[in-house]
Amino acid sequence: MTASLESLGDEAFVSLTTFRRSGEPVSTPVWVARDGDTLVVTTPAETGKVKRIRNSGRVELRPCTRRGKVADDAVALQGHAVIVAGNAADRATEKIKKKYGLEYRILQVLEPLIARGRKERVILSITTG
């Protein structure tokens, strides 16, 4: 794992940039955790970022605030994201639960209320290089 990947895995929030078919970037702040030599992210299955990753796994990552503010001098880490399932997804979910603890549990309670029903979540696995 590169130092950049390690440091991003330690961040509370990371700006995940995915790309539309036109090449236009779309950035979203996400929770991130390390799982071996990859970074993992959880997100509702029907989000735009999931659709864009299905078209092209190309992503960029930068540290950010909870609201998605990226420092002017933040360097983007280029990566490739895939949607994972099965044991890999279960393991990644546990990594995220462990890192975010109570905050994750609160999300699990509030998200269905805000979104008018529980939404299926997926795990994105991100590698670099």
Q: What is the CATH number of the domain that holds 93?
A: 2.30.110.10
Give the residue carrying structure tokens 């779309």.
26
User: Measuring CA to CA, which residue among 97, 88, 71 is closest to residue 124?
Assistant: 88
Task: Give the angle 41-47-49 at the CA atoms, nearest 5°.
Answer: 60
Number of domains in the chain: 1
- Which residue range is the domain that position 59 belongs to? 5-127
Q: Report the chain's C-alpha Rg in angstroms.
A: 14
How confident is the prediction for the chain on average, in pLDDT?
90
Give 17-63 pLDDT, tens digit per residue.
999 999 999 999 999 999 999 999 999 888 999 999 999 999 999 99
Would the pLDDT of 15 be above 80? yes
